[in-house]
Amino acid sequence: MATHALRRAALRTELADRELDALLVTDLLNVRYLTGFTGSNAALLVTGAEDSTLFCTDGRYTEQAATEVPDLRAVTSRQSAPALAELAIGRVGFDSAHVTVDGLDALGSVTRAELVRAAGLVERLRAVKDEVELAALRTACAIGDQAFADLLAAGGLVGRTELEVARDLEGRMVALGAEAPAFASIVAAGANSSIPHHRPTEAVLRTGDLLKLDFGAKVDGYHSDMTRTVALGRVADWQREVYDLVAQAQAAGCAALAPGVAGREVDRAARSVIEAAGRGEQFVHGLGHGVGLQVHEAPSLAATADGTLPAGVAVTVEPGVYLAGKGGVRIEDTLVVRDTGPEPLTLTTKQLLVV
């Protein structure tokens, strides 16, 4: 409760700066961030004072809300957002990124307040992780590391299908304490490893393949994200060349992480290594992204990214080189931006493993 109260207090500072009397929060992840509520229907009206802030959910979640959100005044309604809008007064912000046109009409039809677009206020707070969030991320990353190590130690990858390996890896993460995989795992063997977001198929893993695995664990709502590429049985010269190049780019991207550095500059640090080797056109995506309650959230590390990195953000650094029809390599870590240098949360070796 204390952690969520501190987050709401930080949001009130943002409201005062924007001369807003309240913020109507309708996105469930933002509601969870500010209250701890994990149900499927809720809204929150954050006002200038804690004792007038209102939380709303429906009767299915009365007992759950009493446990998870005991510190806020509760309203019960199936139509959570309109119910709170009807009680709002003054200049009230709403997140236009999460409210549909019809939803806005519904709010406007019941409220006396002046509704003001206020997109992204909570997401900007969410970008900088507090210690509660970092603890969940560390645990999620540790589960991913251990599940991957156990998968490799068990052996027998050659001859299995991509789907079998994906299910095995995800099952290991759950057995180690994850509430679920962070996302549908990418397991891509041979030529399929050249497809950045390949979906696992019945393709059989064969000796001489590169095997790319992109996966993560979900703990207390927080997501880990890592990618490792291994060689099955033997390594061809071209495979080692591409792997070493991506490893150099990934190291450069990680080293560039620091408070005050622009996200696009971090991308440039890694991308320039690959471009210098003549493979710039084969690095086809941004360098990384924030992770937290969503596996992809602010900030962005890409050539098009705006803004600079504050201390305390958790981001991925994941360059890749993809040779269509032949194979590809991606190496990805989750790290926290610190004044003293980036703190890696995924700790699996980045040496090329032959398994």
- Whether 269 and 316 map to the same domain: the answer is yes
Write down the residue that tokens 């408070």 correspond to. Answer: 259
CB 74 within 8 Å of CB 55 = yes
- Whether 57 and 170 map to the same domain: the answer is no
CB 193 within 8 Å of CB 208 = no
Within a domain: 199 = yes
pLDDT of residue 303: 96
Within a domain: 355 = no
Within a domain: 182 = yes
Instruction: Quote the CA–CA distance of 40 and 2 in Å, as a whole number.
Output: 23
- Whether 122 and 135 map to the same domain: the answer is no
Sign of CA pseudo-dihedral 112, 118, 120, 124: negative
Crossing angle of helices 131-154 and 162-175, in 10° steps, is 130
| DSSP code for 104 | H
Q: What is the mean pLDDT of residues 331-354?
A: 98
| CA-based nearest residue to 84, from 151, 126, 35, 128 | 35
Instruction: Quote the CA–CA distance of 243 and 238 in Å, as a whole number.
Output: 8
- Whether 284 and 317 map to the same domain: the answer is yes
- Whether 215 and 312 map to the same domain: the answer is yes
pLDDT of residue 226: 98
Within a domain: 175 = yes
The string of pLDDT tens digits covering residues 156-189 is: 999 999 999 999 999 999 999 999 999 999 999 9
**CATH number, residue 158:** 3.90.230.10
- Which positions ≥6 away from 300 have C-beta within 8 Å? 263, 286, 288, 289, 290, 306
pLDDT of residue 315: 98
- Whether 138 and 234 map to the same domain: the answer is yes
- Whether 79 and 153 map to the same domain: the answer is no
- Whether 219 and 298 map to the same domain: the answer is yes
Last residue of a domain, one of 109, 126, 143: 126
- Whether 115 and 150 map to the same domain: the answer is no
The string of pLDDT tens digits covering residues 279-307 is: 999 999 999 999 999 999 999 999 999 99
- Whether 136 and 122 map to the same domain: the answer is no
Within a domain: 352 = no
Within a domain: 23 = yes
Looking at every residue in the chain, the average pLDDT score rounds to 97
* Cα→Cα distances 18→93, 121, 146, 320, Å: 9, 10, 45, 41
Sign of CA pseudo-dihedral 342, 181, 176, 227: negative
pLDDT of residue 350: 97
Domain that holds residue 167: 131-344
The string of pLDDT tens digits covering residues 117-164 is: 999 999 999 999 999 999 999 999 999 999 999 999 999 999 999 999
Domains contained in the chain, number = 2
Within a domain: 54 = yes
Q: What is the mean pLDDT of residues 27-52?
A: 97
Q: In this structure, what token pair is assigned to residue 20? A: 């807003």
Within a domain: 31 = yes
- Whether 197 and 271 map to the same domain: the answer is yes
Instruction: Quote the CA–CA distance of 158 and 306 in Å, as a whole number.
Output: 43
Last residue of a domain, one of 74, 108, 126: 126
- Whether 91 and 144 map to the same domain: the answer is no
Q: In this structure, what token pair is assigned to residue 166? A: 């994906």
Percent of the chain's residues with pLDDT above 90: 100
Question: Is 90 exceeded by the pLDDT of residue 1?
Answer: no
Q: What are phi and psi of 343, to 5 degrees?
A: -100, 110
Question: Is 90 exceeded by the pLDDT of residue 326?
Answer: yes
**CATH number, residue 12:** 3.40.350.10
pLDDT of residue 55: 98
Instruction: Quote the CA–CA distance of 351 and 247 in Å, as a whole number.
Output: 8
60 pLDDT band, cuts 50/70/90, is very high
Last residue of a domain, one of 91, 126, 161: 126
CB 34 within 8 Å of CB 8 = yes
CB 222 within 8 Å of CB 178 = no
- Which positions ≥6 away from 228 have C-beta within 8 Å? 148, 212, 213, 331, 332, 348, 350, 353
34 pLDDT band, cuts 50/70/90, is very high
109 pLDDT band, cuts 50/70/90, is very high
Spatial strand order of the sheet with 297-301 comes to: 297-301, 288-290, 314-317, 333-336, 343-344
Percent of the chain's residues with pLDDT above 70: 100
Query: What are the residue ranges of helices labelled H in the chain?
Result: 2-17, 28-35, 62-68, 80-87, 101-110, 121-127, 131-154, 162-175, 237-256, 263-276
